[in-house]
Amino acid sequence: MTRSQRNFGKIMYSIFVLALGILFIYPLFIMAINSFKNRAELYMNPIALPHHALWKNYAEAARKMSFLNALGNSVFITVISLLFIITFSAMCAWMITRKNTKLSRFLFFLFVATMLIPFQTLMMPLVQMMKWSKQFLGLRVLNTYRGIIFMYIGFGMSLAVFLYSGFVKTIPVSLEEAATIDGCSSFSVFWKIVFPMLKSTTITVMILDIIWIWNDYLLPSLVLNDKALRTIPLSTSSFFGVFTIQWNEAMAGLTMTIIPVIVFYFCAQKYIVKGIVTGAVK
């Protein structure tokens, strides 16, 4: 093969791979083009480009979904849950890895073994517990931010503790000992020395949990019935419950819900891939 033949082959191969990639996300393209059509045009030919962009669909969908409100709720719940998951799991993982006692080993086993429990096994008892906590303790969990955030913290612990303890093992203890001798308390040893070193795991936990919490449907559907508290998946599902036939508006609604995800993807792409690899390989 001559050089130019090989180059030609490379170009053809690149075009082929790119075409396949574009074909792969073609469904998203169909969604986007139909979000600009009116109903008649959409049913006449769902794969044709729109004659002219009908932005009205977006305004209507945004209003019916209370899109901005849902976006705000999703951001709030995801960010706050994440802050707590990271803080608590890192602290716990560091302690149970460093103090290798029977209790520590038992706790580690407990966190890891329960990863096998599917959410469906816990959902009904959780609903009951929410009712009891209101009835007997006067503590409202249902339809509150604190309720759902508390649950995300609980559910997020297993994986996060597991990932952090794997990483803590690779950090030499000598640094921590030196700091202790210099008079640091456990608290400042952790926050000043250990936590900054855990950065790569923190990013992994962040990525995995953002994807999970942002897209979660079942838990919020059980905890947040109040319309004002709806997250994006919830508002999408209620939108479809009532307006399934209005596909053009529905497509506008779906396109809007995907935009934040795509933006996040392009901003954090490098970390997403790294996070998924470390999360999976552990």
Partner 1 sequence: MVTNKKQEKFWYFLFVFPALFAFIFVVIIPFFIGIGYSFVSWNGLATSKTTFVGLQNYRQLFSDVRFGSSAVHTIIFTVLSVLFINILGLLFALMVTTKLKINTVARTLFFMPNLIGGLILGYIWKFILSDTFKAIGEQTGWTKLFFNWLLDPTASLWALVVVITWQMAGYVMIIYITGIQSVPDEVIEASIIDGAGRVRRFFSITLPLIMPSVTICTFYTLSNCFKMYDTNLSLTNGGPGTSTELFAMNIFNEIFSFSHFGYGQAKAIIFFLFIAAITLTQVAITKRKEVQL
Subset of 16-55 contacting partner 1 (CB under 8 A): 17-18, 20-22, 24-25, 27-28, 30-31, 34, 42-43, 45-47
Subset of 259-278 contacting partner 1 (CB under 8 A): 261-262, 264-265, 269, 272-273, 276-277
Does position 251 bind partner 1 by CB under 8 A?
A: yes
Which part of the chain contacts partner 1 (CB under 8 A), choosing from 62-70, 152-160, 173-181, 195-203? 152-160
Subset of 212-241 contacting partner 1 (CB under 8 A): 214-218, 233, 236-237, 240
CA 231/CA 74 separation, integer angstroms: 5
Nearer to partner 1, 96 or 229 (CB): 96
Subset of 161-180 contacting partner 1 (CB under 8 A): 161
Alpha-carbon distances, residue 36 vs 29, 44, 56, 179 (angstroms)? 12, 14, 8, 61
Q: Which two structure tokens, joined as six digits, stand for 162?
A: 């597991």
Does position 206 bind partner 1 by CB under 8 A?
A: no
| Residue from 63, 131, 169, 227 in contact with partner 1 (CB under 8 A) | 131
Number of residues that bind partner 1 (CB under 8 A): 87
| Residue from 58, 111, 162, 167 in contact with partner 1 (CB under 8 A) | 111
| Residue from 151, 168, 198, 205 in contact with partner 1 (CB under 8 A) | 151
CA 65/CA 256 separation, integer angstroms: 10
Question: Of the candidates 87, 232, 221, 80, which has an alpha carbon nearest to the alpha carbon of residue 149?
Answer: 80
- Least separation in angstroms between residue 216's CB and partner 1 is 8
DSSP 227: G
Contacts of 209 (CB under 8 A, 6+ apart): 78, 81, 82, 85, 156, 160
CA 261/CA 236 separation, integer angstroms: 15
- Least separation in angstroms between residue 214's CB and partner 1 is 7
Subset of 58-97 contacting partner 1 (CB under 8 A): 84, 87-89, 91-92, 94-96
CA 96/CA 99 separation, integer angstroms: 5
Which part of the chain contacts partner 1 (CB under 8 A), choosing from 51-59, 62-70, 176-184, 258-266? 258-266
- Least separation in angstroms between residue 119's CB and partner 1 is 7
Nearer to partner 1, 89 or 201 (CB): 89
Contact call for residues 148 and 218 (beta carbons, < 8 A)? no
Question: Of the candidates 11, 46, 13, which has an alpha carbon nearest to the alpha carbon of residue 250?
Answer: 46
CA 35/CA 246 separation, integer angstroms: 10
- Least separation in angstroms between residue 97's CB and partner 1 is 11
CA 20/CA 26 separation, integer angstroms: 10
Does position 203 bind partner 1 by CB under 8 A?
A: no
